[in-house]
């Protein structure tokens, strides 16, 4: 659920940064099988391209995607203590290296809320601005 929250907030932040082509066209960009920004990965790349966040948060959001995908695409049960998640958790929360903290699920959930809040703050800051395209 944390990954879904971050993805939804990222989409809102992107929509606040681009010109509004109308609901039908914008939904076509983000919804459906052929939507160019329909995947979390595509939204993450667009977020970086629009300077919604810098390299450090880019890495954290990629880690959120990787952790979400690990849970979504695994046939066997998985929990946050699984060694396969440690590399992504360390990218998401670098302070964990050498830490004695053991509640990785809480760290992930809290970090997702913080990341989502940051994305929403960007959306509020940049939403509603009149943007005029510049054509050379």
Give the integer Cα–Cα distance in Å for 57 and 62. 8
Whether the predicted model's global pTM rises above the 0.85 cut: no
- What's the pLDDT tens digit per position in 36-81? 999 999 999 999 999 888 888 898 899 999 989 888 877 777 888 8
- What's the pLDDT tens digit per position in 19-36? 878 888 888 999 888 899
Q: How far is CA 113 from the centre of its chain?
A: 11
- pLDDT at position 65, please? 94
Residue 8 CA: distances (Å) to CA of 19, 119, 134: 18, 9, 29
Give the integer Cα–Cα distance in Å for 38 and 19. 18
Residue 63 CA: distances (Å) to CA of 7, 33, 91, 99: 12, 24, 6, 19
């Amino acid at each position: 659920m944390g990954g879904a929250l971050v993805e939804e907030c990222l989409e809102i932040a992107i929509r606040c940064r681009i010109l509004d082509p109308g609901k039908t066209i914008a939904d076509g960009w983000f919804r459906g099988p052929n939507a160019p920004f329909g995947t979390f990965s595509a939204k993450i790349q667009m977020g970086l391209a629009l300077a919604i966040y810098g390299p450090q948060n880019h890495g954290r959001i990629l880690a959120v995607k990787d952790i979400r995908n690990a849970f979504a695409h695994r046939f066997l049960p998985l929990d946050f203590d699984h060694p396969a998640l440690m590399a992504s958790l360390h990218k998401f929360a670098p302070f964990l290296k050498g830490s004695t903290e053991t509640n990785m699920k809480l760290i992930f959930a809290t970090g997702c809320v913080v990341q989502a809040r940051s994305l929403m703050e960007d959306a509020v800051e940049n939403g509603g601005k009149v943007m005029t395209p510049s054509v050379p």
